Amino acid sequence: MALTACAGAPPAPTLGPDGRPLPRLYRIGPGDTGRIQFRMLDAINALRQASGAPAVVLDAQLNAAAATHARDMSVQNRPWHFGSDGSSPITRIQRAGYNGRLVGEAISETYETELETLGAWMEAPNTRTVILDPTAREMGFSWFQESNGKIWWNLILATREDTGFTPVNAPS
């Protein structure tokens, strides 16, 4: 009992106006890359399996394209699908050396973790459709965290396989 009394009470959490604890700053360290990418891959594959879509694998070229765009969104200070040089997601994956077809991209500007961000993406019909697209076979996932803690997330899904998909605007 003497040791417990000496230790003191744990600090009380800081509460917001709603009486709930305020979120803690999510800091990503330099050694966290693999852990975060594989946690996201596992979560996405669990969602894809539940929807009947095949699993995806991480692709280094798509990871590089995602990292480049995450940093560029921070520089532009806006989450959007075009680079500061006017590049599209298709252009960026080609520049990274990926020779497949873009399925889609999900982006976010937040202070939330990767799994909280995935949850938000799954609530939005357009990003949910990209994540669960059965034609996707590879995934790139990366981020850029600013010194204030803001994180710019970028998820790219693509495929090198001929899935029989013909884009709407493709010549016949």
Q: What are the pLDDT digits (tens) for 135-163? A: 999 999 999 999 999 999 999 999 997 65
Return the pLDDT at 30: 86
Cβ within 8 Å of residue 53, ≥6 positions away: 132, 133, 134, 136
How far is it, in rounded angstroms, from Cα 53 to Cα 40? 16
Tokens standing for residue 148: 């204030």
Weakly modelled stretches of the chain, pLDDT under 70: 1-13, 21-23, 162-172
How far is it, in rounded angstroms, from Cα 116 to Cα 26? 11
Across 11-33, b (16+ Cβ under 10 Å) vs e yields eeeeeeeeeeeeeeeeebeeeee
Return the pLDDT at 12: 55
Name the β-bridge partners of 110: 151
How far is it, in rounded angstroms, from Cα 3 to Cα 44? 46
How far is it, in rounded angstroms, from Cα 139 to Cα 6? 51
Return the pLDDT at 16: 75
Return the pLDDT at 164: 54
